[in-house]
Amino acid sequence: MGLFDIEGTKSVIKNEEVLNYDYIPKILPYRENQIQEIANSIKPMLNERSGSNLFIHGAPGIGKTASIKWVLRELSETTDDVIPIYVNCWNLKTKYFIFSEMANQLKISFRAGKSAEHILRQVVYKLRGKRAVFVFDEIDKIDDPDFLYQIVSTFPKSCIHLISNKFDYVVRIDARIKSRLMLRNMEFKPYSLNEVYGILKERAKLALKKDTIETQLLKQIANITFNKKDVRVGLYLLRESAKIAEQENKRKITKEHVKKAIENVLDKKPEEEKLNKDENLILDIVKVHNGEVAGPLYEIYKKRGGELSYKSFKRYVNNLEKLGLLKLELTGGGFKGKSTRIFLA
């Protein structure tokens, strides 16, 4: 049998997409109230009135992004007069990249080298006569929130929704921006254990073939997921368990498959799946040299093939701290002056 022969292999997974963290199901259980509140903030715009600006916050992996995307999908299927624009600021940290993403979603083409303000003017022209819902997810990752003042000033009849894992993010925004935004606070509470189990049970039903995982194993995964307070962990465990079962050419997921999945997945945070090559390299180095000073870590990074300057290296380290993956502790003198001791969070 060749390496890539699939004839005769057992299949456990029916639809792997359902187990992806960014999959939006047709029914989003246990978030009906939040979905309704988000929809209510947009509804007035359908009658040419102003919508409400929201600050949506809560721990990672509890349905914030899924809920907003569910509403935006429904909106796009209902009307062409209110345009949904969703931007994830994880890797789009400057207003140039944010405005460029907005332009891309509106199918606006522009030559490279144009300024952020030029791109915004193109967006304004494209949206003339219409209203928009601007959603900025992971807003705490941006370099400078001043672009929000431009958005709220340029589109006064549209609404803005900010999403963050950090409940105190708005406190740190400039008062001038806060006074223009007039954000209404909306908190997402963690799922209960029964809700976690219900979510995973429904996803398993859609993603896996019938009778491939026993109730007891699903409850075990639900317990781990509840303790981690992140539904994405459960989705990863389901997916990994199913893949291991298929690799072993089994028709059902066993206790051993779940155990292997736990070992494979739970030593890696969901945030790590979004990291680029250099961020992964830095994290790998800190795992081996936990608590080392930034300068020596940078030298190790260079020896491992890293190409960033020291300034960029520090910027990446700071970003990993924002993501909750590293912890920084200021020291006295060090590499190029004052330095920082870097720990795994």
Q: What is the pLDDT confidence band of residue 111, given thresholds at 50, 70 and 90? A: confident
Q: Does residue 45 surpass a pLDDT of 70?
A: yes
Give residue 9's pLDDT: 56
Q: Does residue 4 surpass a pLDDT of 60?
A: no
Structural domains of the chain sorted by starting position, each given as residue range(s) with its CATH number in brackets: 32-187 (3.40.50.300), 191-270 (1.10.8.60), 275-344 (1.10.10.10)
pLDDT in tens, 288-342: 898 899 999 999 999 999 999 888 898 888 888 877 788 888 765 444 456 788 9
pLDDT in tens, 185-236: 999 999 999 999 999 999 999 999 999 999 999 999 999 999 988 999 999 9
The residue that leads in pLDDT, 76 or 276, is: 76
pLDDT in tens, 226-266: 998 899 999 999 999 999 999 999 999 999 999 999 887 65
Threshold 0.85, pTM exceeds? no
pLDDT in tens, 181-196: 999 999 999 999 999 9
Q: Does residue 136 surpass a pLDDT of 90?
A: yes
Mean pLDDT computed over 50-67: 94
Q: What is the pLDDT confidence band of residue 21, given thresholds at 50, 70 and 90? A: confident
Task: Encode the chain in three state secondary structure.
Answer: CCCCCCCCCCCCECCHHHHCCCCCCCCCCCCHHHHHHHHHHHHHHHHCCCCCCEEEECCCCCCHHHHHHHHHHHHHHHCCCEEEEEEECCCCCCHHHHHHHHHHHCCCCCCCCCCHHHHHHHHHHHCCCCEEEEEEECHHHCCCCCHHHHHHHHCCCCEEEEEECCCCHHHHCCHHHHHHHCCEEEECCCCCHHHHHHHHHHHHHHHECCCCCCHHHHHHHHHHHHHHCCHHHHHHHHHHHHHHHHHCCCCCCCHHHHHHHHHHHCCCCHHHHHCCHHHHHHHHHHHHCCCCEHHHHHHHHHHCCCCCCHHHHHHHHHHHHHCCCEEEEEEEEECCEEEEEEEEC
Mean pLDDT computed over 58-66: 93
Give residue 327's pLDDT: 85
